[in-house]
Amino acid sequence: MPGTLLDRINEYLVRWIVQKYKRYRGRRMRARDALGRTVAAYPRLSMRIRLPD
């Protein structure tokens, strides 16, 4: 399977962060880290979103 549904959702969220915030344009890894920090800070908000290490 080339990617799970949750992986696709995570990639969509990273793309959204990159487009919304100027500081993440051209910096997908930083945007992914920002998503990871959000998941860590608000675990109940994102109970189904798990980022691979």
User: Locate tokens 């919304």: which residue?
Assistant: 20
Residue 24 in contact with residue 17, Cβ under 8 Å?
yes
Range of the domain at 14: 5-41
In a domain, 11, yes or no: yes
- What pTM, to 2 d.p., does this model score? 0.69
CA distances from 4 to 20, 48, 52, 53 (A): 25, 12, 12, 15
pLDDT in tens, 1-53: 456 887 888 889 999 999 999 999 988 999 999 988 888 888 776 655 565 55
Residue 37: CB atoms within 10 A of its CB come to 10
Predicted confidence at residue 1, as pLDDT, reads 47
Please tell me the total count of domains within the chain.
Answer: 1
Residue 47 lies in a domain: no
Q: Check residue 8 and give its pLDDT.
A: 86
Does residue 14 lie within any of the structural domains?
yes
